[in-house]
Chain A
Amino acid sequence: MIRKHLPFATIAVLALVAAPLLLEPFRLSLLAKYLCYAIVALGIGLAWGQGGMLTLGQGVFFGLGGYSMAMYLKLAEGGGLPDFMVWSGVEELPALWTPFANPVFALGMAVLGPVAIAVVLGTLVFRQRVRGAYFAILTQALAAAMVILLVGQQGLTGGTNGMTNFFDLFGADLAADSTQRGLYLVVAGVLGVLYLATRQLVNSRFGRLLVAVRDGEDRVRFLGYNPATVKTVTFAASAGMAGLAGALFVPVVGIISPALLGVVPSLELVVAVAVGGRHALAGAVLGAVLMGYAKTAFSEQFADGWLYLQGALFILVMTLAPKGIAGILGRWRSARAT
């Protein structure tokens, strides 16, 4: 029992106690950013690794969460209209914006908005037994459409620039180190709780059913279950996680824009999950943190090289180790055991 939970407990202590003490504030808030991505990756690991639904549009849900939060932050500042609306000539607050002045509504929408969209899309798509590559393409098209919509509705969303310049969160100064440390702890805590909950879900009866749907959807149907429901619920859960991650991302990083949630960022997270190991939830989290770190490190050194490296890494992982780092570790462990 203790042995089983030891790795998680060690990492939790490291993340919650050691990291805030040892890392300088700048690095700590970078880590918080990677952990936000890790929450999205956890959702992808659940939907893709366990459920076989390759979703290339998690950026959409991430963005919905992020924009909800950003709208609240903009309105909470007070002082009339948000800055970008003044620049694009909007004269009064659009009706869509008004309820977001309430933090509970904004946070609720950040999670429930993505869940609602995923439920509708999932019901429509999975009920008709549209799956595999078709589903991947549809989610990707959703991401593409979302970006064009956000860029086009400049007066509502801030267009290409998105929203930035947030100053305080629930009365705390966002630029202050203490606020950023607090935010980091919140993000790490949320990730930990979601990880445990997802692991519980995967080990439950529902999780077994989900894997069965992945490996033989028709057989599951013949056994009397409805695969569409299982898939829709899972897809909705992963969308909710992405939405929550987006809402946490905005105060941590201080910006949300279409460039952060389009086709490419959505795919990058899938890459991260593949690198970490899609069939292990911990692999997905690890992959997101590692890829986030690698991206920062390499972009600092040589900006152009990153795309080559990412592309090459991807080709190598797919060809040589389709199960990712978790797969390699698993093989190594079982080799040592024998």
Chain B
Amino acid sequence: MEALVNQLPIGLSIGAVLLLVALGLTFTFGQMGVINMAHGEFIMAGAYTAFLLQDLLLALPAAFLVAGLMGLILERAAIRHFYGRPLDTLLLTWGVSLVLQQLARDLFGAPNVQVAAPPWLTGAIGILPYNRLFILALAVAGVVAVWAYLGHTRQGRRTQAVVQNRQLAATSGIDTGRVDMLTFFIGSGLAGVAGVALTLIGPVGPALGTYYIVDAFLVVVAGGLGQLRGAVLAAAGLGLLNSYAEFWSDASLAKVIVFAAVIAFLQVRPQGMFVLRSRALT
């Protein structure tokens, strides 16, 4: 019973990491239907930004800008020519991700590097260290910011309009190209922020993003495309499931259990927890 309670905060903190990583994806994958395999490399770029600056609070906005600009360039240069061909985008962005990984290896070297955690993050409340709490707080802040942006700003509402019906939004005078650009900028920027957060719990290496990207996609699939509340619930759920599965079986079986759980969940809700209702057929 005690173990059951102890696993809870661990699970939630895994969930928070997943949520931070998946938050950017709810933008690019969820809103625009673009499977960006280079998202993991934007996370890596954010982490290396933190490594270069070695200052957590400065790194957060800097990483947002760096990763966001990388996303913006990728969208303008390549992805915008691929709208409506999601599977091709997946392969294209994977090519980009390979190049970026090798670039990181050439720039920073193949071995992992460390980012020193600021002194005010050492310590713990109970079994939860401050750095995990910081990530949890960052995830909450990220969700609130995204929610506020989408629901309560002019540009955010335009984004929602484009998601719901691109043609109609364009006819109503919304510059959809601009919306796409901005959405991609924010989504990629959030990946950068997630990268900074990841430096608090582990070393930074060229393959950092690849460890998280698959799980993050599962979060978006289970939560429902472009659904903020779905992403939050799915991240928490998958995080908890991961920690309990690891506790009861072992780390290697946990991933298989999580995968089976997602498949089982899709039997009940094939389109994820929350679905954007539409009358479109496919």
1/0 per position for A312-338, CB-CB distance to B under 8 A? 111100110010000000000000000
Cβ contact within 8 Å between A125 and B266: yes
Is A54 interfacial (CB-CB < 8 Å)? yes
0/1 interface trace, chain A 105-138, chain B, CB 8 Å (1 if under)? 0000000000000000100110011101110111
- Asked whether, in the complex, the Cβ of B86 is within 8 Å of the Cβ of A133, the reply is yes
Q: Which residues of chain A come closer than 8 Å to B35, judged between CB atoms?
A: 133, 136-137
A residues 170-213 touching B (CB-CB < 8 Å): none
Q: A128-B270, A133-B86, A314-B91 are contacts. A218–B282 as well, Cβ < 8 Å? A: yes
CB distance from B111 to the nearest CB of A (A): 15
Residues of B near A133 (CB, < 8 A) are: 29, 33, 35, 86-87, 90
Distance in Å: Cβ of B233 to nearest Cβ of chain A: 18
A169 interface residue per 8 A CB criterion:
no
Q: Give chain A interface residues in 112-167, CB to chain B under 8 Å.
A: 121, 124-125, 128-130, 132-134, 136-138, 140-142, 144-146, 148-153
For B266, list chain A residues within 8 Å (CB).
124-125, 128, 130
The answer to whether A304 touches B86, judged by C-beta atoms less than 8 angstroms apart, is: no
Interface SS of chain B: helix
| Whole-angstrom distance between the Cβ of B258 and the nearest chain A Cβ | 7
A124 x B99 contact (CB < 8 A): no
Query: Is residue A87 within 8 Å, beta carbon to beta carbon, of the partner chain?
Result: no
Contact: A54 with B102, CB < 8 Å? no
B90: contacting residue among A136, A144, A149, CB under 8 A: A136
Q: What separation, in Å, do the CA atoms of A140 and B215 have in the docked complex?
A: 10
**Known contacts A145-B255, A152-B252, A319-B81; is-contact A124 B263 (Cβ 8 Å):** yes
Question: Which residues in B have some Cβ–Cβ distance to A below 8 Å?
Answer: 29, 33, 35, 78, 81-82, 85-88, 90-92, 94-99, 101-102, 105-106, 210, 214-215, 217-218, 221, 250-253, 255-256, 258-259, 262-263, 266-267, 270, 281-282
Known: A124-B266, A137-B214. 12 other contacts (CB 8 A): A129-B270, A132-B86, A137-B217, A137-B221, A141-B214, A141-B217, A142-B259, A218-B282, A304-B105, A314-B94, A319-B81, A322-B85
